[in-house]
Structures are given as C-alpha cells and as structure tokens.
Amino acid sequence: MKAFLILEDGHVFEGKSVGSTKEIISEIVFNTSMTGYLEVLTDPSYAGQSVCMTYPLIGNYGICKEDMEAERPWQSGFIVRELAKRPSNFRSEESVESFLIENDITGIEAIDTRALTKILRDKGTMKGMITTDENFDKDDCIKRIKAWSMGHVVLDVTCKEKMSFPGDGYKVAVIDLGVKKNIVRCLLERGCSVTVYPAETPAEEIIADAPDGIMLTNGPGDPKDNVKTIEEIKKLFATKIPIFAICLGHQLLALANGADTQKMKYGHRGANHPVKDLKTGKVYISTQNHGYVVKEETLDRDIAEPSFINVNDKTIEGVHYLGKNVQTVQFHPEACAGPLDTGFLFDEFMNMMEVSK
C-alpha cells in the first residue's frame, strides 16, 4: 500500500505503508543512531513526534521486548528507508513491522531519508503528516498540519500513580517526566530503593517520604509547558536533598532557577554526540534526544555554572549548581543502546547522597 509523508513546507515523499495505516500529524525529527531502534521507538521523549532513522536498513535484529524503555511505544510515526522483513538474531521475538502493527504505530518506508534529513537540517524541525490516502488534497493537508499542536505531552507519558521498586540502599525519588526504564535500572543496580512519582506530584509529598536523593528524568515536549512541575521543582531545590537531573529534568531545573530555554533548529538525536567535561577537559561520546536547550547567557552565575558543553555546537550539556548537591546533564548517561561513557554520573549521584548524610 502506498503511503505519503507531507511536510508543512509542501514537500511530499511517496513510499510504502508499514505498521498501522491510520493518518497521523506530528513533529518530524531525525535520529542518526545505527542501532537501538527499539529503544528509540519506546522512549517517551518522542511522544508527539515521528522519527526518521537516517541509517538505511532498520530492523535487521528484530524486536527484543526486554530492551524496551517503556511499556509501549510513544512515537506517532516511524520513517525508514528500508525495513528488514526477516530479522536474524537469537533474541528476536518479532519483526519491527509486526511490532508497529501490534502497537498501532503508523510507519512509512522506501522514501529518501537522506533527502528528508537534509531538508530538516536546512529548514529546521517541522510538522508533517503520514497518510495512505492517495487522493489527499495537499493544500488542505498543509492547513491541518500547520493547525496541529503537540500539547502538554508530559502529562500523557507520566505515570498515573506512585510506583515503588525495593532496594537496600539509598532512597531515591524519581520524578517521572517520561522516564526511561534504564534510568530506574541504573539506580537499582546501585542498590537504591526507588519510588517513581507522577510529574505534578506536590513537593511536600515527596519531601515527606524523606528521600536521600531526587532524580528528575527525561521527557517530551516544550519544557515551558510544565508550569506546575517547575513550581514544585523550586520547592525541591530549596531543600538540602541532592538532585540529579537528565534531559528535560535538566531544562526544568534551569527554568526553576530563572534561566531560559529555546528550541533548537533540528535538535540532537543520536548515539554519537561528543560532550566536554569543563572541569577535567575530557570528552565523552553520549546518546542524546532533545529539541530544546538551556540558553547559557541566561544562567545566573551566582547560582549555577556550565559543567558540560557540546563539542560540535558549544551548547550547554550540563549544569552544576553552586553550594548545592545538584548536578544536571542534557545527555543520557543511562544510554541503551549507545555509549556508556558517562555512566559514572550515577556513581557521582551516589556520592552526593553519601556526603549529604
């Protein structure tokens, strides 16, 4: 069956339908990872987006549900050059196409993903539609695409009630803005007792549970939409409880302290982004997935200072808060699939909790 990707600037790509055939409108982004497509599909940070995978062959090792970052995929759509129909891997449980059908995710293959990526790099991230309607009215589609809004997607992906994972070590409160399973897994591997809270949980409830540390997680959408969560983060920051924040959590903590964020032209999404530790001068390869960034010039240097920068474009990749046991990073130290170069940051979080005792 034919499928079409229509961009808001008028570009139309014709390909083949894979997965669900429902028509969807979403934000169109690209990811440069060669592996980890299942982790990309199930990362809640992609809620409201359709992801174009730049690597030309996707799905050759199939689907292993143990590797999922959430209980279900959150992407609106999946865009590939070629989808492997016969995966070969001893861990594979099914093909990517059957996984897309099973989870009602719209997909399109056999388009020029390099051309699409070049358009997004040149013009910036834009909205688009995937449809199987061969008689679509282009002008009407573009009108509908431009009228579409992602909305406050953090409320869609966050847990609906508190969840607990027992451990014998430090008690960590995880604020679920769109948490990846591997973040919780990294804490549990270090012996932590983890409690996951919905995004808008009152700070007073979290503080009353007496955690040894607080984790602010990754998540989707515009950080400025999270007005209520930012107000609760201000209260948590005012305590002496150590805080470690990743991705969206990093942005929200900056907003809570008076800094500003802005949308990037096309974002950082992939498993090969170099970041520099400004304290040691070392460069690490990181996995990233974000379309917004903290504006360095808006950081109050009496409160915070950059700790990591992106080697390619010099944007802020981490912030250290002065006089506080608070560290935030824009990239993903829990990365799977991807390089584990910065996994030591979880150990630093453990040290922060130990020192604060």
Please identify every residue annotated as catalytic: 247, 332, 334
278 marked as binding residue? no
292 is in an annotated binding site: yes
Q: Is 248 annotated as a binding residue?
A: yes
What are the Cα distances from residue 222, in Å, to 110, 329, 345?
A: 31, 17, 25
Q: Is 289 annotated as a binding residue?
A: yes
Alpha carbon distances (Å) from 252 to 42, 49, 198, 293: 22, 20, 15, 10
Number of Cβ within 10 Å of residue 323's Cβ equals: 7
Q: How far is CA 220 from CA 8, 62, 178, 182, 249, in A?
A: 21, 26, 7, 17, 10
| 36 labeled binding residue | no
Give DSSP secondary structure letters for 57-82.
Answer: EE-TT-B-GGG-SSSS---SEEE-SE
Q: Is 236 annotated as a binding residue?
A: no
CB atoms within 10 A of CB 98: 14
Other CB atoms within a 10 A radius of the CB of residue 123 amount to: 14
Supply 240's token pair: 């002496």
Query: CA-to-CA distance for 24 and 49, rounded, in angstroms?
Result: 10
H or E, element range at 114: helix 113-123
307 Cβ contact list (under 8 Å, min separation 6): 277, 278, 279, 318, 319, 320, 327, 329
104 - beta bridge partners? none
Tell me the β-bridge partners of 126: 28
Q: What is the DSSP letter of 323?
A: T
Strand-pairing partners, residue 309, are 276, 316
**Cα(343)–Cα(285) distance, integer angstroms:** 11
HEC secondary structure over 147-179: HCCCCCCHHHHCCCCCEEECCCCCEEEEEECCC
Extract the annotated binding site: 45, 219, 221, 248, 251, 289, 291-292
Extract the annotated binding site for L-glutamine: 45, 219, 221, 248, 251, 289, 291-292
